[in-house]
Structure 1
Amino acid sequence: MSKSLEHDSKVAEVDVVIVGAGFAGLTAAEQLVNLGVSVRVVEGRDRVGGRSFSGEVAGVKVDLGATWVAQRHTAIRDLASRMGCTTTRQFDEGDNVLWMAGERSTYQGTLPEISPEAVEDMVRIQTMVEELIATIDVDAAWRSPGADQLDAMSFGEWLDNKHALPSTRALMTILSKVQWGCSPGDASLLHALRYIRAAGGISHMLDVEGGAQEERITETTQEITTRLAERLGDRVVVGTPVRRITQDDHGVTVRTDSESINAQYAIVTTAPEHRANIEFEPALPNKAEGLTKTWRLGTLSKAFVAYEKPFWRSSGLSGEALTDTGVVFITFDVSPDDSGPGVLMAFCDPRVFDGFNSEDRRRRVIRQLVELYGPQAGTPIDYVEHCWGTESEPFAPGGPNPALPPHAAVTYGSALTEPHGRVHWAGVETAGEWAGTMNGAVLTGQRTAERIAKLLGVEHGVLA
């Protein structure tokens, strides 16, 4: 893997050039290389992994970005295994903590039993959501029955129309913040339904055991991409933003600050809004241009607080907490084991987090953890954070997925995957099933590589 391009010539020739060294781009590259296709992967960041990014707190590696894998995420699990990475079960033994309407309580299971009325209402809303997602075409939600009406309102407006209780609304807000980096009122109902169906339903989205949070990659998710990039070697170049992509009947040229790369086809894996950072010639069609303006990523931040030991476990607590106020809105225990260090991962609301300096952010997080877990939470041994929506993330800043406003799915959704001549699209947003997950990203890389291989007339090959 090269840090910069060091060639005597400023022009490179390959069969396929891939923009973006996240899961989709690297998976596509590996598959094409195994077919004997020459590739070049160019990445604007100075690292691989995209929205998977490793950090460290108290000597423990942690996921500052994408974190969990489910049993049903077979594509990413297979890739992780091939790269020699292992999984660790997400700790969830004991009682969970709930802070709602100014009161602290504990509960067991996925959803808190605040009151019989609250449980009944949550079941009612979840049932209606499940009935709606059964009608959604996960590969092209904009072609689903009633798509225009579903896309004309926000998820929040729908909850209001169904008279969801405040407790249900609070839980759906937490789901929305984690999934789309926004409140329900900022996400199209159709968009929300597509992602809920793609994720396997609300229960699978929320569950630990048997659900989307069942396991973590022990070595961190970014390590999977690091090892894959190392196998690809000098085919992967980081710290090299793509400025322009031109094409004609004979091929495409991808231009960076240091060279031009001529290829037969290009695969662009960037988030839809960041396609706008690249100049295309011919220009993108109007619908594809509109996609870059409306499919914007939400915002999400994470903090990790370390202690000598996971003291909450001895109190019978799981380290999972849900809150409806403050900086932190959900926590998980990501400690390596009982002996320590103890590590709490906190999802933080950027609106009341990112705008403060690092010391203020730290103080706010710890103060809220004290409310949730008691005085021992006030004496951490280490702290690390990452704000995905700030200038420290010049490429694809924001949340894990687009915070899509009403009307944008129907109007622009088809441009997600429709090729622009010799330029093809991949990346987690373009996935149908498992959109919004690392598994979905891997699947899009595989599918796009298969499509390009057919166009190249490649059926069999060996490692180049």
Structure 2
Amino acid sequence: MSKFAEREPNSISVDVVVVGAGFAGLTAAEQLASRGVSVRVVEGRDRVGGRSYSGEVAGVEVDLGATWVSRRHTEIRDLASRLGCTTTDQFAEGLNVLWMAGRRSTYQGTIPEISPEAIEDMVRVQTKVEELISTIDVDAAWESPDAARLDAISFGEWLDRNDAAPSTRALMTILSKVQWGCSPGDVSLLHALRYIRAAGGVSHMLDVEDGQQEQRYAETTQEIATRLAGKLGDKVVVGTPVRRITQDDNGVTVSTDSETINAEYALVTVAPAHRAGIEFQPALPDKAEGLAKTWRMGALSKAFVAYEKPFWRNSGLSGEALTDTGTVFITFDVSPGADGPGILMAFCDPRVYDNFSLEIRRDRVIRQLVDLYGPEAGTPIDYVDHCWGTEPFAPGGPNPAVPPYASGSHGSALTEPHGRVHWAGVETAGEWAGTMNGAVLTGQHAADRIAKRLGVAEDTSV
């Protein structure tokens, strides 16, 4: 189908070149290929999966990046099922641990029962958030009623103006760190509301049972991407950063260090901040350049500590904990079973974690786990961690920490094509933005758009 002929030994020609081998890029490539479109997927990392990345602790594969799926995440679940990957329920039996204001306590459910007054305040603030998100256009938050006012303050400023109690503020800070890799004061209220609405509301975002943390993949989420890339075979090339994308009326040329790819269209699926690492000729419009400069990535780190057995279960604890101080701010039990090994996953604050040695990071995590779970937590059999903010290529995650004014000024450039260059990726999603499900949806939608431009038939096989 392509009208380009090879121009030099390291030059190839396809119909569509896809930049990025995360779930959006791989999904789009598979769907286009199934319609007879020739594709080339180029990935700068030395692996596929994007922000899904597998590690190992005590011989068990774990998710160093994206982890959970909800029952409502139908697209990623269908994809994983088709590729033979299986879900396992997130362990949530027993009491959760809370460390707040220097005091340890236990509780059940999503919201810690600190006091009747604290519960009342949390419900009050959550109700106000739900009222606001009902006004948000999840596909174009910057066009929502009162968008300019909502974008002019941070989520943290809004909590202050609404007199959020210290306990409510602490819980919203944990939500912010997990979702955007930043504190509430660093993210626009409009951006926060868009992501909360996209996630199905505050309760769905926070809950394990019937919520966003309901299930994990036994094989890890990166394995889903690995198997999908395996179906595409040599159409996927890793370790190949894109340096330049040029275009004219006849097509696009994507330049890497090792090859030049000529195509009719390009689909770029990298995070908005990482678009800035590619030279575009002609240059991106001002709004799109502003997007790349202001939609900076947050930073989040994860540690996994393994023990012979999940000993906390013997004390009636779930392995889920929330803390308002220290390196660790939330933990989960991701053990493969009751017989062991026992594995605690800890989310860690990069400000007091990333720039320290492995030994110091490990010591800080374990000492905090001792506070939460007792002396047995001080004798692990293995440890592994990953700092997303210090990755050498395309650092940051889980999502952009978009400051005030940046959504209203630049948000529409998320999806506006730049000539023959189209965009996809989890940030471009409306519903389920910030999730693997959202990434798959954007890949599907982008494949449909480009297929129509190419004049090819609907997908008839998967």
Deviations 1:235-276 (A, max 9, x none): 000000000000000100000011110000000000001101
Number of the residue aligned with 2:398: 400
Corresponding residue SS for 1:258: coil
Instruction: Specify the alignment match of 1:414 in structure 2.
Output: 412
After superposition, residues 97-246 of structure 1 pair within 5 angstroms as: 97-246=97-246
Helix, strand or coil at the partner of 1:459: coil
> Where do 5+ consecutive residues of structure 2 fail to align?
1-6
The corresponding residue for 1:453 is 451
- C-alpha contact 1:244 1:278 (8 A) present in aligned 2: yes
Equivalent residue, structure 2, for 1:3: none
Corresponding residue number in structure 2 for 1:34 = 34
Amino acid at match of 1:32: L
Alpha carbons 1:36, 1:461 under 8 Å: kept = no
Residue 127 of structure 2 aligns to which amino acid in structure 1? T
SS of the counterpart of 2:292?
Answer: helix
C-alpha displacement of 1:395: 2.9
| Cα distance in 1 for residues equivalent to 2:215 and 2:61 | 15
Alignment partner, residue 330 of structure 1: 330
Write the distance in 2 (CA, Å) between the matches of 1:57 and 1:8.
46
Identity %: 80
Deviations 1:35-57 (A, max 9, x none): 01000000000000000000000
**SS of residue paired to 1:114:** coil
1:313 shift after superposition: 0.3
Q: Secondary structure at the match of 2:175?
A: helix
Distance in 1 of aligned mates of 2:331 and 2:43: 32
Cα shift readout 1:130-179 (whole Å, capped 9, x = no counterpart)? 00000000000000000000000000000000000000000000000000
For 2:4, the equivalent position in structure 1 comes to: none
Shift in Å at residue 22 of structure 1?
0.3
TM-score (norm 1): 0.97
Aligned to 2:65: 65
Code of the aligned partner of 2:292 = T
Q: Which residue of 2 aligns with 1:439?
A: 437
Q: Alignment length, in residue pairs?
A: 456
Contact kept in structure 1, 2:388 and 2:396, CA below 8 Å: yes
State the Cα distance separating 1:394 from its structure 2 match.
2.7
Q: Which amino acid aligns with 2:412?
A: S
Aligned partner of 2:287 in structure 1 is 287
- Whether 1:19 aligns to 2:23 is no
Change beyond 3 A, Cα 1:60–1:279: same
8 Å Cα contact 2:31-2:459 kept in structure 1: no
Contact kept in structure 1, 2:319 and 2:331, CA below 8 Å:
yes
Deviation at 1:462, TM superposition (A): 6.7
What is the CA–CA distance in structure 1 between the aligned matches of 2:135 and 2:240, rounded to whole Å?
42
Shift of 1:309: 0.2
Deviations 1:373-415 (A, max 9, x none): 000000000000000001xx23321121000100000000000
Q: Indicate conservation of the 8 Å contact 1:370/1:376, yes or no.
A: yes
Q: Deviations over 1:96-134 (max 9, x none)?
A: 000000000000001101000000000000000000000
In the aligned structure 1, how far is the partner of 2:398 from the partner of 2:448?
26
Cα distance, 1:355 vs. partner?
Answer: 1.6
Report the Cα distance in structure 1 between the residues aligned to 2:459 and 2:86, rounded to whole angstroms. 29
Deviation at 1:227, TM superposition (A): 0.4
Q: Describe the SS at the equivalent of 1:446.
A: helix
CA deviation vs aligned residue, 1:67-102 (integer Å, no higher than 9, x gap): 000000000000000110000000000000000000
Deviates more, 1:41-50 or 1:8-17: 8-17
**Cα deviation 1:304-357 (Å, max 9, x = unaligned):** 000000000010000000000000000000000000000000000000111211
Per-residue deviation at 1:463? 7.2
Question: How do 1:274-423 and structure 2 match up within 5 A?
Answer: 274-390=274-390, 393-423=391-421
Cα shift at 1:443: 0.2
Q: Is the 8 A contact 2:205 2:211 kept in 1?
A: yes
SS of aligned partner of 1:371: helix
Verify the 8 A CA contact 1:297 1:396 in the aligned structure 2.
Answer: no
Q: Is the 8 A contact 1:33 1:463 kept in 2?
A: no
CA distance in 2, matches of 1:426, 1:315: 46
Which residue identity lines up with residue 434 of structure 1 in the other structure? Answer: W
* One-letter amino acid matched to 1:448: A
Report the Cα distance in structure 2 between the residues aligned to 1:214 and 1:273, rounded to whole angstroms.
Answer: 30
Asked if structure 2 preserves the Cα contact closer than 8 Å seen for 1:36 and 1:463, the reply is: no
Matching residue's letter, 1:237 = V
Determine if the alignment matches structure 1 residue 425 to structure 2 residue 431.
no
Give yes or no for contact 2:122–2:168 (8 Å, CA) kept in 1. Answer: yes
User: Is the contact made by 2:208 and 2:214 (CA closer than 8 Å) also made in structure 1?
Assistant: yes
Measured against aligned partners, the alpha-carbon deviations of 1:180-199 in whole angstroms (never above 9, x if no partner) come to 00000000000000000000
Gaps of 5+ in 1: 1-6
Structure 2 CA distance for partners of 1:123 and 1:460, relative to 1, 3 Å:
closer
The 8 Å contact of residues 274 and 395 in structure 1, kept in 2 or not, is answered as: no
Note the C-alpha offset of 1:460.
Answer: 4.4
Q: Is the 8 A contact 2:97 2:322 kept in 1?
A: yes
Distance in 1 (alpha carbons) for counterparts of 2:354 and 2:237? 31
The two structures have a TM-score, normalised by structure 2, of 0.98
Residue 9 of structure 1: how far off its partner (Å): 1.9
